[in-house]
Amino acid sequence: MNNQTKLVTGHYLPYNPDLVGRARELRKNMTVAERKLWYDYLRYFKYPVLRQRPIDNYIVDFYCPQLKLVIEIDGETHIEAHDIKYDNIRTKILEEKYGLRVIRFWNLDVLDGFDVVCEIIERELI
Strand partners, 74: 106
Q: What is the mean pLDDT of residues 27-34?
A: 96
pLDDT at residue 102 greater than cutoff 90: yes
What are 47-83's pLDDT values in tens digits? 999 999 999 999 999 999 999 999 999 876 656 666 7
In whole angstroms, what is the distance from residue 73 CA to residue 31 CA? 9
List the 69-74 sheet strands across, edge first: 50-55, 58-64, 69-74, 101-106
Instruction: Please report, for residues 17, 31, 63, 83, 112, the alpha-carbon distance to residue 50 in angstroms, rounded to integers and kept in the order given.
Output: 16, 16, 5, 24, 24
Backbone angles phi, psi at 36, to 5 degrees: -60, -50
The DSSP symbol for 106 reads: E
Q: Which domains are present in the chain?
A: 4-123 (3.40.960.10)
Distance of CA 12 to the CA centre of its chain: 17
Query: DSSP class of residue 46?
Result: S
Residues 2 and 76: their CA atoms lie apart, in Å, by: 36
Confidence at residue 11, expressed as pLDDT on a 0 to 100 scale: 59
